[in-house]
Amino acid sequence: MIDGMRRKGREKLFESLEDEADDGDFDGLFSRDGHWREPLKAWSGPESQLISQQFWQVFEQCSKVMPKRTAMVFVMREVMGMEIADICNNLEITATNCSVLLYRARMSLRECFSIRWSREGEL
């Protein structure tokens, strides 16, 4: 799996960031004082939710909405537990670029999950 991600990362070494979400896309989620406009609903038993099949189905749907490189960086960091330095070496990107991609992935996932959780019903 990791070899495939490395290969894809090398093939698109200088991929344009134009397909990445603009940070301004998330402005509507925050109030003027920087707080979330609508907080997420509290989950009952987050540990059990994390391992549930429904969680991973929604995660997969949400990750497909993101640009591929953004989703790949997020999975490498948060699911596979790789260090940022290792991700940067594998994908030949800078630490700053990696941090930006992680931020964008988290914001995208937060928005997507808030929509899909309510659509799927309580998990």
| CA pair distance 11, 68, nearest whole angstrom | 13
pLDDT at 24: 63
Rg of the chain taking only CA atoms, in angstroms: 16
- What pLDDT, in 10s, does the model give residues 77-112? 999 999 999 999 999 999 999 999 999 999 999 999
How many residues can be counted in the chain?
A: 123
pLDDT at 117: 72
Residues 63 and 74: beta-carbon distance below 8 Å: yes
- For residue 79, which of 54, 111, 43, 55 has the smallest C-alpha distance? 55
* Helix, coil or strand: residue 117: helix
Q: Residues of the chain whose pLDDT is less than 70?
A: 1-27, 29, 34-36, 40-51, 118-123
- For residue 122, which of 62, 45, 61 has the smallest C-alpha distance? 45
pLDDT at 123: 44
pLDDT at 72: 95
Provide the whole-model pTM: 0.58
Amino acid at 103: Y
pLDDT at 14: 45
- CA distances 66 to 59, 74, 85, 94, 121, Å, are 11, 10, 22, 20, 23
| CA pair distance 113, 42, nearest whole angstrom | 12
